[in-house]
Structure 1
Amino acid sequence: MGVLLQIIYYAFEFYSMALVIFILMSWFPKAYETGVGRFLSKICEPYLEPFKRFIPPIGMIDISPIVALLVLQFARGGLLQLFNWVL
C-alpha cells in the first residue's frame, strides 16, 4: 500500500507544479498559445474555474489560484492522512 501512497503523493505534486507553471505563464505574452500552454490550460482550467467564479480579484490581483493551490495542498494532506489511518 506504500506504493499507492507514493503515487497519490506524486500525482498531487505534479498537479501542483502544473498549476504553478500555468499561473506563471500569465506573466508572459502569448505563452498560453504554445503547445505547453494549451496542455496546461486543458488540465488546469477546469480546477481553477470554480475558484475564479467565487473569489473576486482584489484590484488587479487575482488570488483565486493561490486559494486553489492551498485547497489542493490541504486535500493532499487530508487524503494521505486518511490512507495512513485506514492502513
Structure 2
Amino acid sequence: MLLIYLVDRFFQFYYYLVIARVVMSWVQPPTHHQTMRKIIAFIYRATEPVLGPIREMMPNLGGIDFSPIIALLALQIVRNGVIQLLYHLF
C-alpha cells in the first residue's frame, strides 16, 4: 500500500508542476530572486520532457498551447492504469 500511495503522490506532484507551468505562462513570475529563478528552471526542466513532444505532435492552433491539457489527461490515464496494476499485483 505504501508503494501505491507514493506513486499516487508522484503523479499528483507532477500534475501540480504542469499547473504551475501553465500559470507561469499567464503571469510573469518574479525572477529577481535567485531562489525563484531556480524554482522556475526546475519546473520547466521537469515538465518539458512531457509537454515538448506533445507540442510537436499537435498542429498549430492559432498560438494556443493545448499540450498541458493533453498532458494532464494523459497523466490521469497513466496514473489510474499504474495504480490499478499495483492493486492487482499486491
TM-score, structure 2 as length reference: 0.85
Aligned letter for 1:77? N
Alignment partner, residue 25 of structure 2 = 26
Q: Percent identity?
A: 33
Aligned-residue CA RMSD (Å) = 1.5
Runs of 4+ off more than 6 Å: none
1:61 aligns with 2:60: no
Please report how far the alpha carbon of residue 55 of structure 1 lies from its aligned counterpart in structure 2 after TM superposition.
1.1
Structure 2 unmatched ranges of 5 or more: 32-36
- The whole-number CA distance in structure 1 between the counterparts of 2:6 and 2:30 is 28
- The whole-number CA distance in structure 2 between the counterparts of 1:32 and 1:66 is 25
- The whole-number CA distance in structure 2 between the counterparts of 1:62 and 1:19 is 13
Alignment partner, residue 34 of structure 2 = none
Structure 1 unmatched ranges of 5 or more: none
TM-score, structure 1 as length reference: 0.88
Aligned length: 85
Aligned letter for 1:13? Q
Please report how far the alpha carbon of residue 51 of structure 1 lies from its aligned counterpart in structure 2 after TM superposition.
0.3
Please report how far the alpha carbon of residue 86 of structure 1 lies from its aligned counterpart in structure 2 after TM superposition.
1.8
Please report how far the alpha carbon of residue 61 of structure 1 lies from its aligned counterpart in structure 2 after TM superposition.
1.4
1:6 aligns with 2:9: no
